[in-house]
Structure 1
């Protein structure tokens, strides 16, 4: 007596091409927005040498907007991806599993697409809470897999173009074979998915879109929670900066005419006040009032040429952003400060006392805290 393993059967009526297409086009929009804003974020955070001096410092809220959209669209894509996988997962059990070389390549491309999408969305979600349970560096791997995901998605769309075209709208030709009674169930499913997307968006986007901060229930940051009313990602303790390391602090500026300033001498220079947002790659942001010395004034005192860039070094003992390079556009912007005060108060140690950089349209990781040295490039 021989045992034959029959493939599982699925009785759900919504595991069909029309439902998959309806959810897929919404997912494609979310992924496209997330990808484009993510690429912009990557090059603002890690610009190639030829681009570093040309990055724009305006609008001042530019990075806040694009990074907020990046994180929001990535989170919104998670329920869409899960719904999409639910509609198509019976196809994973087709028999025989491979019918031809073309079919094998198609299934391989789908496997790459699904794996890349799951990795991108869930690793990005873990990044928002700063939890990295993997041995590799998040930023370069996340950036590389983003291109892999987009390539696999374009290939998938090209292969499935006839089916997508046939089921794009309710009146598309080739859809008459679908039972009419499935319509209400399909609409209910799409409504539920839309509600899920709306729920996760409304309860997380308040960390950057402050008018909705009262609904900020699921986001890892609240824009009002933190020392001096501003959140902190990297504390002084995490950076190895203590109160004992600050006494005797001096700002050393190196250039054609190098000099050094004590904190009192820095405070005696002309002070400027600006209102700028600090926006972090994890998706949270908030505007604050910053007071300090214009970076361009410090560069001029060091004899820097008009087109010179700047390198800033922090007191922190370790960290990927202990040293930061700033292009000439940012360095010369009148809103770029070596800040000494936040919201009218002396900077707390966690916010970068005795001095930190604040510049318009810059990722938070490049707003260097605990500045000890500046070098004209």
Structure 2
């Protein structure tokens, strides 16, 4: 006689969470999504500009423009500001739509599968981009990968997921874009906080984080710069410093016998006194860093194009600049022809009328228009015509 194994009791599926209320409907999600989409679009476009100015491919080196001189300051300031503003918007958007994550069955059609895929990638990439970008503003990197290439690659993934999500959800977005009535809701409606109150609260949160951080680049609002990691007026000689001389391994002893070497058809060397005896030019240019802070300052030094011409270089020639620092990803920097020829590009010796401090690049540093701060090379010891 065959003995049948006892049947195990069938476990019932756990009850799915139940959500209701005006603030979990499609209209609310669409209203927040408009702001979030705009913030991400601005952050993406300015981020691409920043990346190619900081890491130009060979075909762009001599094409990138040096004007407007404040261009990088504006685009990078917008990049960081829009990224920070997108954080509360992302939280609000997720709060409005998260009940949809518990809808059953999980997949009902090909279109529904694409929608869920786009949402998964969009949320993961969005959280990764915004929070790694935020940590970059304070120069904290608690991960094993290189920030710049990974952040840039995931930005394209985020943008692609956003386009796919908009395409899949376009009928719902269109239906709730301008309608003031609840319309066809995805979830039951119950009494709850007013949608306008929620949106005003979100706007206030976005305004607060923007107001208390944007002053690091938009100096008229510097007095409200409470949460940003940098204040434009705090630092040696009235200017913030990201990379200290001690970090770069440059000391007073290192620069004691400093000479500038310029390599070209007619290579030459100059002592600091000889460099200071050449015709000096004073310009007002901003230092604008990838972390989002920036400030204009008065710089005095010798035009880069004058130094290159003395070495026999023709107009339209690029230059390679080498720093005295012992280590660093930007120890060697290449400057395209448009920058090298620009009369605002200097090998600066003074800041605000004073000799450069060691932390600001003494004896000499590069200052050029429309450039990321990491490419404004400090402690310059060598320039090569290329």
TM above 0.5? yes
| Correspondence for 1:144 | 153
In the TM superposition, what whole-angstrom CA distance separates every residue of 1:23-64 from its partner, at most 9, and x where no partner exists? 001100111011111111111111111111111111111111
**Which residue does 1:39 correspond to in 2?**
48
Q: CA deviation at 1:10?
A: 1.6
Separation in structure 1 between the aligned mates of residue 352 and residue 191 of structure 2, nearest angstrom: 58
- Contact kept in structure 2, 1:64 and 1:361, CA below 8 Å: yes
Structure 2 counterparts to residues 212-223 of structure 1, below 5 A: 212-223=221-232
2:63 corresponds in structure 1 to 54
1:230 aligned residue (221, 239, 262): 239
What is the match of residue 4 of structure 2? none
1:165 is aligned to 2:162: no
Separation in 1, partners of 2:27, 2:184: 8
Q: Which runs of 5+ in 2 are unaligned?
A: 1-8
Residue 275 of structure 1 is matched in structure 2 by 284
2:374 is equivalent to residue 362 of structure 1: no
Aligned position for 1:90: 99
Partner deviation per Cα, 1:88-126 (whole Å, 9 max, x = no partner): 111111223233454333312211110000011111100
Matched, 1:153 2:162: yes
> Which of the residues 290, 302, 308 maps onto 1:293?
302
Cα RMSD for the two superposed structures: 1.8
Given candidates 117, 126, 129, the residue that maps to 1:120 is: 129
Selected match of 1:18 from 14, 19, 27: 27
Cα distance 1:173–1:19, how it changes in 2: closer, same or farther (>3 A)? closer
Residue of structure 1 equivalent to 2:81: 72
Using structure 2 for the length normalisation, give the TM-score: 0.94
* Cα pair 2:344 2:368 within 8 Å, conserved: yes
State the alpha-carbon separation in 2 of the partners of residues 205 and 73 from structure 1.
10
Q: Which moved more, 1:168-177 or 1:73-82?
A: 168-177
Distance in 2 (CA, whole Å) between partners of 1:110 and 1:177 is: 16
Aligned to 2:251: 242
Structure 1 position 374 matched with structure 2 position 383: yes
Larger Cα Rg: Structure 1 or Structure 2?
A: 2
What is the match of residue 349 of structure 1?
Answer: 358
2:19 alignment partner, SS class:
coil
Structure 1 segments unaligned to the other structure (5+ residues) = none
The answer for the alignment partner of 2:112 in structure 1 is 103
Q: Which moved more, 1:10-19 or 1:139-148?
A: 10-19
SS at match of 1:341: strand
How far is 1:87 from its partner?
A: 0.5
Shift >4 Å, 4+ stretches:
171-184
Instruction: Report the Cα distance in structure 2 between the residues aligned to 1:182 and 1:360, rounded to whole angstroms.
Output: 56
Number of positions where the alignment pairs a residue of Structure 1 with one of Structure 2: 377
Q: Which moved more, 1:165-174 or 1:364-373?
A: 165-174
Measure how far apart 1:68 and its partner are: 0.5
TM-score, length of structure 1 as denominator length = 0.96
SS in 1 for 2:65: coil
* Structure-2 change in CA distance of 1:325 and 1:177 (3 Å): closer
Distance of aligned partners of 1:320 and 1:102 in 2 relative to their CA distance in 1, 3 Å threshold: same
Q: Report which stretch shifted further, 81-90 or 101-110.
A: 101-110
The 2-side partners of 1:177 and 1:210 are apart by 45
